[in-house]
Amino acid sequence: MSKTETEVENQAPEKLPLDVWHRAQGGRMVPFAGYEMPIQYEGIKAEHDWTRSSASLFDVSHMGQLSITGENAALELEKLLPNGIANLGEGKMRYSLLLTEAGGIIDDLIVTNTGPHLALVVNGACKWEDIAHLREHLDDSITLTHFDDFALLALQGPKAAEVLEGLVPGVSELTFMTAGLFKFNDQHVWVSRAGYTGEDGFEISIHESHVEDLANALVADERVKPAGLGARDSLRLEAALPLYGHDLSLDTDPVSAGLTFAIAKARRETGGYMGHAATLSRLDGGSTQKRVGLALDGRLPAREGAQVFSDNSAVGTVTSGGFSPTLGYPIAMAYIDNEFTTEGTALEIEVRGKRLPAKVVPFPFVPHKYHRKGA
């Protein structure tokens, strides 16, 4: 039975399968998405830099791991997602969006064709609402399963592939946005070559009874250190990856968010998915704002909610911001009125009562380093 949003908010944070392990590693735990999660170990900047140069282990077991099965599972899912799902090859992954009829974003997620079923990884803070939405709108012939007894680890960084290959043979053959079933210590693990840092890396789904063995084996390698939510956030910001509840919400849409790549070209006119009419109208010029990148002068970062100005007119709002350890200056993502979104446009952001100079810059702030096919 799905929990309601109120039930999730009112209950004490749950513990991750690796809770004791994180504390033993020196993790500082904080409430996040209904769980107690490590925000840092050694320090956010140190963990950020280590991910860029070596390999970091992130625990993302708060995410929702779901499966969709049934004779028409792909076609049923296409009623709710704007991508093509029926043409998704086995072992292939696709980024997608759950939308309302008004075109608002319920959640962003990853769909994988595992062969036996379609797997969905959804955001931890949204998973109960997502499960309820899917159960309400999928045909009764479709079975939805929540794998709440599985953990999910993310190994991210330029040395991730060589490290994981030593423990899970065969994973180095994967390329970005592909996945497969492998073995670790005779236990089946599902490994995806993807992540949320902009670096090359993997997400590993493993039963909670074996996750500590895997975590220990990974950090036993001197190339791997544990990393927390703080570094995960600064890395995803540099990669310009939106975070649900901040850069994406029911009040945002795929067009203004710059996520039209998640709308299959063949379905832009023909539709057939929830939210199509509203999305089509925005594709035809009905979107008034756009998510853009901003680089700030100085060292003072702009945070979520800061107002963006052109002269004395408010033209947008920051949704994510912080100091970039890689670039050495503050960066932000913001929704800005369309006429001010051209690269190089000079703007100002109000921070602590002061107007800080900023300019529009392209995404991503730091180039992605995904291991793509043919690279």
Distance CA 373, CA 65 (A): 26
Distance CA 171, CA 164 (A): 7
CB 5 within 8 Å of CB 21:
no
- Whose CA is closest to 351, among 324, 370, 332, 325? 332
Mean pLDDT for each consecutive 10-residue tract of the chain (375 residues)? 46 94 98 96 98 98 98 96 97 98 98 97 97 98 98 98 98 98 97 98 98 98 98 98 98 98 93 96 93 97 98 97 98 98 98 96 98 86
pLDDT for the residue numbered 374 = 81
CB 105 within 8 Å of CB 99:
yes
Q: How many CB atoms lie within 10 A of CB 61?
A: 24
pLDDT for the residue numbered 2 = 41
CB 23 within 8 Å of CB 121:
no
* pTM > 0.75: yes
State the alpha helices, DSSP H only, in the chain.
5-10, 19-24, 44-53, 73-78, 127-137, 160-167, 211-219, 229-238, 267-270, 276-281
Distance CA 264, CA 94 (A): 11
Domains of the chain: residue spans and CATH: 5-61+148-238 (3.30.1360.120), 288-375 (2.40.30.110)
Amino acid identity at 248: L
Q: Specify the 3-state DSSP secondary structure of 173.
A: helix
What is the tens place of the pLDDT at every residue in 61-118?
999 999 999 999 999 999 999 999 999 999 999 999 999 999 999 999 999 999 999 9
Helical (H) or strand (E) element with 347: strand 346-351
- Whose CA is closest to 34, among 13, 10, 3, 5? 13
What is the tens place of the pLDDT at every residue in 23-60?
999 999 999 999 999 999 999 999 999 999 999 999 99
Give 145's contacts (C-beta < 8 A, 6+ positions apart).
Answer: 66, 67, 69
Distance CA 361, CA 259 (A): 17
pLDDT above 90 covers a percentage of the chain that reads 95
pLDDT for the residue numbered 10 = 61
Distance CA 318, CA 210 (A): 41
* Tokens found for residue 118: 């379609």
Distance CA 47, CA 39 (A): 11
pLDDT for the residue numbered 5 = 43
Distance CA 40, CA 136 (A): 38
pLDDT for the residue numbered 7 = 47
